[in-house]
Amino acid sequence: MNDGEAIQNLIDRQAILDCLVRYCRGVDRLDRELVLSAYHPDAIDDHGAFVGTREEFVDWAFALHEKGQISTHHHLTNHAPLTDAFVIQPLHPARDAG
Query: Residue 78 is inside which H or E element, if any?
Result: strand 75-80
- What is the predicted pLDDT for the residue at 90? 55
* Architecture of the domain defined by 3-93: Roll (3.10)
Q: What is the pLDDT of residues 10-60, one digit of tens each?
A: 998 899 889 999 999 999 999 999 999 999 999 999 888 899 999 999 999
Q: What is the pLDDT of residues 59-78, one digit of tens each?
A: 999 998 888 788 888 888 77
Reported as a pLDDT band with limits 50, 70 and 90, residue 98 is very low
CA–CA distances in Å: residue 1 to residues 7, 8, 10, 57: 10, 10, 12, 39
As a whole number of angstroms, the distance between CA 66 and CA 79 comes to 28
Q: What is the pLDDT of residues 77-91, one digit of tens each?
A: 777 765 555 555 555
As a whole number of angstroms, the distance between CA 20 and CA 26 comes to 10
